């Protein structure tokens, strides 16, 4: 029963994310994670959803769990690098960039994404 339930929650989370219902996706991924806490795919997709919502610290935590469970996922390292950049942790961002590239991520694309983050952070806010 719980085998089918976590999978149903996970798949509904994926469908919700595809439909742009990110907060709903987070709920479903969190429910799936309660049943199957050691599933790296759930943790990774939870991280992507948090990242999309701008909840970078939560995203970093989820990507870290995903990496702990499966350290072959270059996308988890790449996305965590971007999140670290958002929270201005350049040291950890650079570390994750190196690992992501070693595992197959394209460095130029990743650096371009991080450069975009840094530009957004440098823009003065309008009153």
pLDDT in tens, 5-54: 999 999 999 999 999 999 999 999 999 999 999 999 999 999 999 999 99
Per-residue confidence at 126, pLDDT binned at 50, 70, 90?
low
Answer yes or no: is 79 within a domain: yes
Answer yes or no: is 127 within a domain: no
Answer yes or no: is 113 within a domain: yes
- Domain containing residue 14: 2-122
Answer yes or no: is 64 within a domain: yes
Query: At CA 12, angle to CA 11 and CA 17, rounded to 5?
Result: 100
pLDDT reading at 107 higher than 90: yes
Q: What is the pLDDT of residue 123?
A: 72
Answer yes or no: is 19 within a domain: yes
Please provide the distance, in angstroms rounded to a whole number, between the alpha carbons at the two ends of the chain: 54
- Looking up residue 26, the CATH number of its domain turns out to be 1.25.40.10
Place of tokens 């939560």: 58
> Number of folded domains in the chain?
1
């Amino acid at each position: 029963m719980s085998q089918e339930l976590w999978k149903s929650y996970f798949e509904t989370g994926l469908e919700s994310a595809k439909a742009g219902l990110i907060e709903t996706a987070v709920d479903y991924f969190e429910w799936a994670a309660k049943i199957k806490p050691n599933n790296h795919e759930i943790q990774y997709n939870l991280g992507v959803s948090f990242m999309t919502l701008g909840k970078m610290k939560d995203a970093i935590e989820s990507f870290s769990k995903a990496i702990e469970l499966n350290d072959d996922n270059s996308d988890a390292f790449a996305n965590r690098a971007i999140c670290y950049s958002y929270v201005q942790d350049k040291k950890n961002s650079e570390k994750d960039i190196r690992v992501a590239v070693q595992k197959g991520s394209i460095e130029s694309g990743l650096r371009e994404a991080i450069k975009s983050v840094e530009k957004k952070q440098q823009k003065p806010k309008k009153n």
